[in-house]
Amino acid sequence: MSFTQTSGARTPRRSPGCLASTALIMRRTLLHMRNNGFGLVVEAVLSPIIMLLIFTFLFSGAIAGSVSGYIQYLLPGILVLTVVPMTVYSGTTLCTDIARGVYHRFRTMPFWQPAALFGPVIADGLRYSAALLTVLSMGLALGFRPEDGVAGAVLAAIYVLFFAYSVSWVFALIGNVAKQPETVSGTSMMLVYPLLFASNVLVDTSTMPRWLQVVVDVNPISVAVALTRGLFHGTADAADLAAGMGVCLLLVVVFAPLTIFVYLKRQLR
């Protein structure tokens, strides 16, 4: 360790603003993904494929009679079913991270502090996108044929991504408040699984008793899935669009500022 003073002749420094800070922290999350490529493949490729296969072949016989018929209905829902639990994982990671040393250093550094939250939240979109693409291509291979063609598929995929981002703020908040990562996954899964299954992901609500139909239809997951389905098959109307976008905006408007506030406040303990 022959210590030399760092040599001069550098461009003068300015504390990074919000865009530069966010980009730098995003890069960190992307490097994590690169350094742990295997984990990414398992999470974004293997497990979504397994989920899709299980649901397609398990339920198609019982519910719709044929694979090619049922998958037209099922696939949009499976996209949501795949991505939402991934957002829980983002919250868990955030919780582990904040308790760790790097975030201590971040807090004593002169950059735009909310970037420490925006960075991972935004960069995780890459994981969601990878999973979306996997499920979509696998679905096409199994006979999924969106009626609205490529344009509809692109819009639907973008919407699912947007929905995932919106939901991820909920778990970012839980990740910020919880003391243990286990608490995050515990409480979040308790919240997420009932919502996912008491929805229209797997079955059409019109077959349900009236009261259950009402409950399932106001479930935000159902709202999002209804819009996704509508976009794929060209059947979305203005009401679907308003409800689907409304759910996302509501989640972002409530949970994003709250999360940032809690994070910034945390250092005042």
Token pair belonging to 137: 């291509």
Residue 10 sits in the site that holds other proteins (CB under 8 A)? yes
Stretch near other proteins under the rule CB under 8 A, chosen from 31-39, 60-68, 156-164, 235-243: 31-39
- Closer to other proteins at the Cβ: 15 or 180? 15
Whole-angstrom Cα distance, residue 4 to residue 7? 8
Angle between helices 67-99 and 125-141 (to 10 degrees): 160
Which of 24, 42, 54, 239 lies at the binding interface for other proteins (CB under 8 A)? Answer: 24
- Cβ partners under 8 Å of residue 79, min gap 6: 132, 135, 136, 156, 157, 160, 228
Residue 2 sits in the site that holds other proteins (CB under 8 A)? yes
> Chain centroid to CA 262: how far?
21
Build a one-symbol-per-residue string for 76-105: x at contacts with other proteins by CB under 8 A, - elsewhere: ------------------------xxx-xx
Between the two ends of the chain, the Cα-to-Cα distance in Å is: 38
Stretch near other proteins under the rule CB under 8 A, chosen from 18-26, 46-54, 203-211, 245-253: 18-26
Per the CB < 8 A criterion, the answer to whether 174 and 91 are in contact is yes
CB of 249 to other proteins, least distance (A): 31
Which of 47, 49, 51, 107 lies at the binding interface for other proteins (CB under 8 A)? Answer: 107
Burial of 178 (0-12, 13-18, 19+ CB in 10 A): buried
Closest CA to 80 of 166, 152, 174: 166
Residue 21 sits in the site that holds other proteins (CB under 8 A)? yes
Applying CB under 8 A, the site for other proteins has a residue count of: 37
Token pair belonging to 125: 């979109």
Token pair belonging to 178: 């919880």
Stretch near other proteins under the rule CB under 8 A, chosen from 32-40, 73-81, 174-182, 214-222: 32-40
Which of 69, 110, 194, 246 lies at the binding interface for other proteins (CB under 8 A)? Answer: 110
Reduced to 3 states, what is the DSSP secondary structure of residue 199? coil
Residue 36 sits in the site that holds other proteins (CB under 8 A)? yes
Residue 15 sits in the site that holds other proteins (CB under 8 A)? yes
Residues at the interface with other proteins (CB under 8 A): 1-7, 10-11, 13-16, 20-21, 24-25, 27-28, 31-32, 35-36, 100-102, 104-111, 267-269
